Chain A
Amino acid sequence: MPDVIASDSPYSITERDVLRRVAGILIPASEEYGVPGADDEAIFARILGLASERAESIRTVMEALQTRAKERHDANFLELNGAQQTALLRDGETSRFLGQMIRCAATAYYEDGRVLQSIDLKSTPPFPGGHEVEQGGWSLLDPVKARAPFYREARKKA
């Protein structure tokens, strides 16, 4: 269950539905890669948490999105079909909203253990397990070792 309950949220139910729909458009689920979308319940809960920290600015730019939807289609954003919604998000007039949502959606999405595993990263915090890193081939250093010193000697005058 998401840990953000309705009464905690600065967003109305409709606004939350818009945020979730946009998250799903930005990063959709993929069967090919076996990953959820950013509108996944747990991931969206985190998105909502991040978006709540900047609610004032997000609500302002969300209004621009709704205004654009009305102007173009005489409809609410949620009433549009997927292609219309995507086209609106690509509209330069809504770029500030898009930027805010990319920050929240991508942050929450790539903190999710299921997603991290799918890109060959750990599904746990870095500490305490750490990571394996190859030592690498130190013989690469041989030509540099063969080089004469090239720093400048510069003692203070006695």
Chain B
Amino acid sequence: MAEDAVDVLIIGAGASGAAIAWSLADTRMHIVCLEQGDWMNPSEYPSAHMDWESRAAGEFSISPNRRGGVTDYPINETNSPIAVANFNAVGGATILYAGHFPRFHPSDFRVRTLDGVADDWPIDYETLAPYYDENDRMMGVSGLAGDPAYPPKPAIMPPLPLGRAGTKLAEGFNAMGWHWWPSDSAIATEPYDGRDKCINLGACTAGCAQGAKASTDITYWPHAIRAGVELRTRCRVREITVRGDGMAGGAIYYDADGVEQEIRAEVVILACNGVGTPRLLLNSTSNLFPDGLANSSGLVGRNLMFHPYSAIRGTFDTDLDGARGPGNCIWSQEFYETDASRGFVRGFTYEIARGGGPVNTAVNRMLSGKVSWGEDHHRSFRDVVNRITGMVGICEDLPEAHNTVTLDPELKDSHGIPAPRIDYTLSGNSRRMLDYSVARATEVLEAAGAIDVESTAPIPFGGWHLMGTARMGTDPQASVVNEWGRSHDVRNLFIVDGSIFVTSAGVNPTRTIQALALYVADSMKQRLANLFD
């Protein structure tokens, strides 16, 4: 039996769901958020335990298929060279993200106009700038003002330390005459909004036990809940319901006991990421919407974009940081803007990955034969442990309709809900960009003094960023939501996650996802009297 209708139903309590919940809370509407995961307990994060590397690779793995937890859903990704990374909890993937927090650039919103590829966004950098600023204040961003790769933007806290690894690579970039800058990071370098400052635990991507990293369970959500938003955990939504007039009616979900529940709502907001949102829309079929909700364009689930990542590592003959300190450090955007002479359009960002832990170093290098086993093991291992650093290249992925999220005909989650299937092909442009990023990074590492350089491209498990599967635009035939996140087909249905990206840019998306959520919230608040017109 359905409960009384709420004003706003938000599905998903991750990066964007938290942001829009907080922003809408000042309307005093009755807002309920359903999250399929749990609240996290920081004392259970790997860095609080000796076996932190094992835990990070197991129950805190970025792969839902590897974790296989009760709050996870399986994904058929056998037809993709890049596997999906996600996390289901209050805070969503921000629990496990590195906290790299770049903004998009002005050119990222105008790729058709500037470079003749993909499509322009219906909004521009100037539209989002105030929401970037607001989000920065809520999340707490460390960095340094004055980056020549960007329009001026405020720095809220001092940057993370360079350390030995950052120093070494900065010397390499300087030797090449190339840009680098302290990374904008959603990691507090000073006490901030009730959070402690970073103490260099070095296991950021498995949850921050210190609470310095800005996951939304400790940033937006405490404020949103204090302002009256109701957050229900362990609630897995099966489908969005539809009223007789074609408007969204609410949702049917399974509670923590597996009991089917229905909630009615005047407004429904999806914040389930670029895979979870199309999955839910495609699972929400009805007589009015036989091909899935909000899908008259046929674009729900199409144009899936990851960021193909390259990883380039160098071994040095001196001790660096190893696993000490956050992975975030510096970035380079020397190759961000299009230069046709490079053989590809658009560009990429290098982000320095400071170092690795001893277990990963030992296992990977013993398996590859680069570290000996047997009598020579200890000497061999000491030649590399704490001496490896490098970078990843985050390549812009252009939208292609054949890269899709669909419903798997056989695979289902623990509640019997059809699971997503990924079909994705790496484009020629991405392949050339990856190769270029490996070649230039090798030059940097060698200039910095690396005695051995190795690379991987693409990173097969690196589908951290899920974008484009319910794109925004002004044309209902060429987009799923309008320029302020409202479905063209269902006027009380909104989407605020990475699904609505038109293009991916060559940077991590979380800061832009959250700025978009705040922008959509503001757009809604300005139109409350005629929101559905």
Contact = CB atoms under 8 A, between A and B. Distances in A.
A13 interface: no
Q: In which size bucket is the chain B interface?
A: 35 or more
Interface in B102-122: 105-107, 109-110, 113-114, 120
Given A127-B47, A154-B106, A28 B148 contact: no
B154 interface: no
A110 B203 contact: no
A111 B50 CA distance: 6
Contact of A154 (B113, B170, B210, B378): B113
Contact of B107 (A124, A144, A152): A152
Contacts of A130: 199-201, 210
Contacts of A32: 378
A77 interface: no
Contact of A107 (B53, B161, B181): B53
Contacts of B337: 150-152
B325 A125 contact: no
A136 B167 contact: yes
Given A136-B162, A155-B106, A131 B359 contact: no
A152 B47 CA distance: 41
B210 A150 contact: no
B385 interface: yes
B31 to A, nearest CB: 31
A2 interface: no
Contact of B378 (A30, A137, A144, A145): A30
B319 interface: yes
Contact of B363 (A102, A119, A140, A143): A102
A150 B347 CA distance: 14
B272 to A, nearest CB: 28
Interface in B161-215: 161-164, 166-167, 170-171, 174, 177, 179-182, 199-203, 209-210
A44 interface: no
B340 interface: no
Contacts of A128: 48, 199, 209-210
B344 to A, nearest CB: 17
Given A121-B322, A141-B170, A152 B200 contact: no
Contacts of A127: 45, 47-48, 201, 209-210
A26 B377 contact: yes
Given A137-B162, A137-B167, A132 B51 contact: no
A28 to B, nearest CB: 6
B107 A140 contact: no
Contact of A150 (B48, B149, B363, B367): B149
Contacts of A55: none
Contacts of A8: none
Contacts of A113: 50
Contact of A120 (B51, B151, B319, B363): B319
Given A140-B174, A156-B109, A133 B325 contact: yes
Interface in B33-76: 45, 47-54
Interface in B338-364: 357-359, 361-363
A111 B362 CA distance: 11
Nearest to A106: B362
Given A106-B359, A119-B358, A134 B162 contact: yes
Contacts of A121: 322-323, 358, 386
Contacts of B167: 134, 136-137, 140
B427 interface: no
B245 interface: no
A78 B460 CA distance: 39
Contact of A119 (B110, B114, B181, B382): B382
A112 B200 CA distance: 20
Contacts of B53: 107, 110-111
B170 A140 contact: yes
A155 B129 CA distance: 12
B375 interface: yes
A86 interface: yes
A154 B124 contact: yes
Given A110-B359, A131-B200, A154-B114, A143 B174 contact: yes
A7 interface: no
B358 to A, nearest CB: 4
Given A110-B358, A125-B47, A126-B47, A156 B161 contact: no
A26 B359 contact: no
Contacts of A120: 319, 386
B110 A150 contact: no
A147 interface: yes
A26 B107 contact: no
B150 interface: yes
A134 B201 contact: no
A30 B382 CA distance: 13
B123 interface: yes
Contacts of A25: 373-374
Nearest to B338: A152
A145 B107 contact: no
B124 A155 contact: yes
Contacts of B144: 141
Interface of B: 45, 47-54, 105-107, 109-110, 113-114, 120, 123-127, 144, 146, 148-151, 161-164, 166-167, 170-171, 174, 177, 179-182, 199-203, 209-210, 319, 321-325, 336-337, 357-359, 361-363, 366-367, 373-375, 377-378, 381-382, 385-386
Shortest 8 CB-CB contacts between residues of A and residues of B: A136-B162, A130-B199, A131-B324, A156-B124, A133-B325, A106-B362, A127-B209, A110-B358
18 contacts: A27-B378, A107-B51, A110-B358, A111-B359, A120-B319, A125-B47, A125-B50, A126-B52, A127-B48, A127-B209, A133-B161, A133-B163, A136-B161, A136-B170, A137-B167, A144-B181, A151-B336, A152-B114
